[in-house]
């Protein structure tokens, strides 16, 4: 496989939170460790799994891989993602859910988009597949059996667009680690339901637009319909997400006024 090196400071830290996804984790990790981009480190944060996740991770022997085991489940991916952000050493950070996977040129493609645009965050479209059927094998995918997560995306995603709808698939994002920290990471401290990934993208969009890569390199797993909660919970989460953005913007304004 062709290996490439792009920017002079192009180390990408990939953060993979996982909880009881042993049957999918091998596929996700394999897709990361076979990237064409050379400069990567991979941080798997096991959020208190009770299945055979440890056995799956024990099959991988790669110096670029580090694993942290949490004793108790934190209740969602936000906290383990934040642990990964803080432990990462790369200039760039990428996120991959443990039931999703990448094409081999995903990181190369995203860094090229960042380099060409001069922006500090990249996202992209994704191929959808349902989690209810048999697990696909690692390897070429029959795209004719898939649909894209979003049919049309603009060349860039800005705050105004994000305020209308969350256009960003978390497993497609590559961004400056510095901006992820500046935007205070994923929302793990908010009381009540919140879209923690959407909340972060809104904050990041006050710092930079997201360039949209022109090639689909992400495979995104959709859960069963009943896993998304009821309409009232969805409304509460959306309301809390926007309230959190308002609070954060107010705090930023106060700090800049001092």
Q: What is the pLDDT of residue 138?
A: 36
Q: What is the pLDDT of residue 100?
A: 95
The CATH number that domain 12-188+208-226 falls under is: 3.90.550.10
Q: What is the pLDDT of residue 136?
A: 44
Q: What is the pLDDT of residue 152?
A: 65
The structure's pTM equals 0.84
Q: How far apart are CA 147 and CA 143, in angstroms?
A: 8
Domain range annotation of the chain: 12-188+208-226
Q: What is the pLDDT of residue 224?
A: 38
Q: What is the pLDDT of residue 249?
A: 77
Q: What is the pLDDT of residue 245?
A: 79
Q: For the chain of 258 residues, list the mean pLDDT of each consecutive stretch of 10.
A: 61 97 95 95 96 96 96 90 97 96 97 96 88 42 43 83 89 97 84 75 95 93 49 67 76 62
Residue 146, Cβ neighbours under 10 Å: how many? 17
Q: What is the pLDDT of residue 228?
A: 37
């Amino acid at each position: 496989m062709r290996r490439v090196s792009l920017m002079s400071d192009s180390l990408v830290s990939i953060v993979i939170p996982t909880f009881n996804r042993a049957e999918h984790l091998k596929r996700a990790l394999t897709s990361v460790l076979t990237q064409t981009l050379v400069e990567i480190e991979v941080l798997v944060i096991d959020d208190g799994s009770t299945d055979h996740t440890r056995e799956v991770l024990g099959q991988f022997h790669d110096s670029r891989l580090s694993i942290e085991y949490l004793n108790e489940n934190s209740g969602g991916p936000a906290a383990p993602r934040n642990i990964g952000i803080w432990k990462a050493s790369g200039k760039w950070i990428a996120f991959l859910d443990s039931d999703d996977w990448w094409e081999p040129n995903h990181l190369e493609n995203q860094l090229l988009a960042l380099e060409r645009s001069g922006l500090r965050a990249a996202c992209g479209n994704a191929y959808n597949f349902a989690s209810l059927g048999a697990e696909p094998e690692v390897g070429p995918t029959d795209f004719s059996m898939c649909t894209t997560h979003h049919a049309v995306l603009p060349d860039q995603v800005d705050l105004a667009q994000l305020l209308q709808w969350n256009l960003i698939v978390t497993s497609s994002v590559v961004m400056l680690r510095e901006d992820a920290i500046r935007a205070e990471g994923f929302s793990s401290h908010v009381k009540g339901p919140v879209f923690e990934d959407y909340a972060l993208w809104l904050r990041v969009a006050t710092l930079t637009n997201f360039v949209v890569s022109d090639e689909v390199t992400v495979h995104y797993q959709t859960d069963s319909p009943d896993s998304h909660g009821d309409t009232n919970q969805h409304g509460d989460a959306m309301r809390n997400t926007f309230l959190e953005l308002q609070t954060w913007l107010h705090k930023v304004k106060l700090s800049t006024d001092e």
